[in-house]
């Protein structure tokens, strides 16, 4: 397994703390008694069966869904008081649901990430465009920067949306099933790119994924969600089956598929 080295952390390294969280949707309890802490530099896979509450957990952390019980802290501050949302970026499942014929280039899409409430009515300056070009280059999209978004492959589109998030210099990045619709090669490139973000930019990443091999091969921590929530470190001697049976049942048996765990992503 390829993973981020685990260290001993103090409270200042905790970027997200969830304690005793219950969340209801349509009068049904979807998430029950979730408790875990995420430290700076963690690369976290969120896994579990469909309908188990993965997206609900993310949306409650982001304040999009009210919680019925428990507490959430972002960067040490109670979530209802937290105001530094520029530190946080979120790419939802439906990020790519737009009119593919709309004449928006990669560079124009990424530039939207520099628009904030505080600068809504000013033109982008040279620093903004420097950040935009830097994010596009980091994501391996420089040669495609003038191409219309609708002309890109699924993997290239998703990388463009990550570049849009990067121009805000986030410290914590959430992605909800980002590889949906990608072919296997594009998935490999995308996961390598996320590894680069985590190791080279020290961005803490939490990603909802159904690719269990990618999670246990690349990531440092796994959160299993099937209404109840189980949080585990991924270490070199971790047996995935011991973790996964807690959420998928005792009958579950996990087998790695062919996966290129190591190596950085370069190219388009």
- Find the CATH number of the domain harbouring 227: 3.40.50.300
Q: Is 69 exposed, middle or buried (0-12, 13-18, 19+ CB in 10 A)?
A: middle
pLDDT at residue 3, as a whole number: 43
Are β-strands 88-91 and 172-176 bridged in parallel, bridged antiparallel, or unpaired? parallel
Q: Is residue 95 part of a domain?
A: yes
In a domain, residue 54? The reply is: yes
Closest by alpha carbon to 180, among 210, 205, 206, 156? 210
β-bridge mates for residue 43, sequence order: 205
Whether residue 57 is contained in a domain is answered as: yes
Domain membership of residue 243 (yes or no) is yes
Six-digit token string for 167: 């121009």
pLDDT at 176: 94
Distance, in Å, from the CA atom of 24 to the CA atom of 4, rounded to the nearest integer, reads: 34
DSSP 8-state symbol, 13: G
Signed CA dihedral, 72, 77, 81, 84: sign only: negative
Stated pTM of the model: 0.86
pLDDT digits (tens, 9 = 90+) for 196-217: 999 999 999 999 998 888 899 8
Mean pLDDT in order along the chain per 10 residues (268 residues) = 45 89 94 96 94 95 95 96 93 75 89 75 84 94 93 88 93 92 83 91 94 90 95 90 83 65 47
Please check whether residue 163 lies inside any domain of the structure.
no
Alpha-carbon distance of 204 to 16, in angstroms, equals: 10
Rounded to 10 degrees, the C-alpha dihedral 76/82/83/84 comes to: 30
The closest alpha carbon to 55, from 186, 184, 206, 230, belongs to: 206
> Structurally, how many domains does the chain consist of?
1
> Are residues 140 and 159 in contact, defined by beta-carbon separation less than 8 angstroms?
yes
In a domain, 1, yes or no: no
Q: How far apart are the first and last CA of the chain?
A: 25
Please choose, from the candidates 198, 184, 135, the residue with its C-alpha nearest in 3D space to the C-alpha of residue 155: 184
Quickly tell me which residue has 């005792």 as its tokens.
250
Contacts of 238 (CB under 8 A, 6+ apart): 1, 216, 232
Q: Give the per-residue pLDDT at 121.
A: 56
Is 208 part of a structural domain of the chain? yes
Residue 96 included in any domain:
yes
Q: Residues 153-184, buried b or exposed e (16+ Cβ, 10 A)?
A: ebbbbbbbbbbbbbbbebbbbbbbbbbeebee
CA angle in degrees (0–180, nearest 5) for 209-194-47:
15
Q: From CA 145, how far away is CA 123, in angstroms rounded? A: 20
What domain range includes position 57? 30-100+170-248
């Amino acid at each position: 397994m390829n993973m981020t080295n685990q260290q001993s952390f103090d409270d200042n390294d905790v970027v997200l703390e969830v304690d005793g969280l219950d969340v209801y949707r349509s009068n049904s309890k979807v998430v029950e008694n979730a408790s875990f802490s995420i430290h700076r530099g963690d690369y976290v896979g969120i896994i579990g069966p469909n309908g188990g509450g993965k997206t609900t957990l993310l949306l409650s952390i982001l304040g999009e869904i009210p919680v019925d019980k428990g507490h959430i802290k972002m960067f040490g501050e109670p979530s209802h008081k937290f105001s530094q949302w520029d530190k946080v970026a979120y790419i939802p499942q439906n990020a790519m649901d737009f009119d593919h014929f709309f004449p928006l280039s990669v560079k124009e899409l990424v530039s939207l990430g520099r628009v904030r409430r505080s600068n809504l009515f000013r033109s982008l300056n040279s620093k903004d465009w420097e950040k935009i070009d830097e994010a596009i280059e980091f994501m391996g999209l420089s040669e495609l920067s003038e191409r219309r978004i609708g002309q890109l492959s699924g993997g290239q589109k998703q990388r463009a949306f990550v570049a849009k998030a990067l121009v805000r210099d986030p410290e914590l990045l959430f992605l909800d099933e980002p590889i949906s619709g990608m072919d296997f090669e594009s998935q490999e490139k995308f996961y390598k790119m996320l590894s680069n973000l985590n190791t080279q930019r020290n961005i803490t990443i939490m990603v909802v994924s159904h690719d269990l091999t990618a999670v246990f091969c690349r990531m440092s921590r796994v959160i299993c969600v099937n209404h109840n929530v189980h949080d585990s470190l991924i270490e070199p001697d971790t047996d995935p089956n011991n973790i996964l049976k807690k959420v998928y049942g005792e009958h579950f048996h996990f087998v790695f598929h062919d996966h290129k765990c190591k190596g950085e992503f370069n190219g388009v």
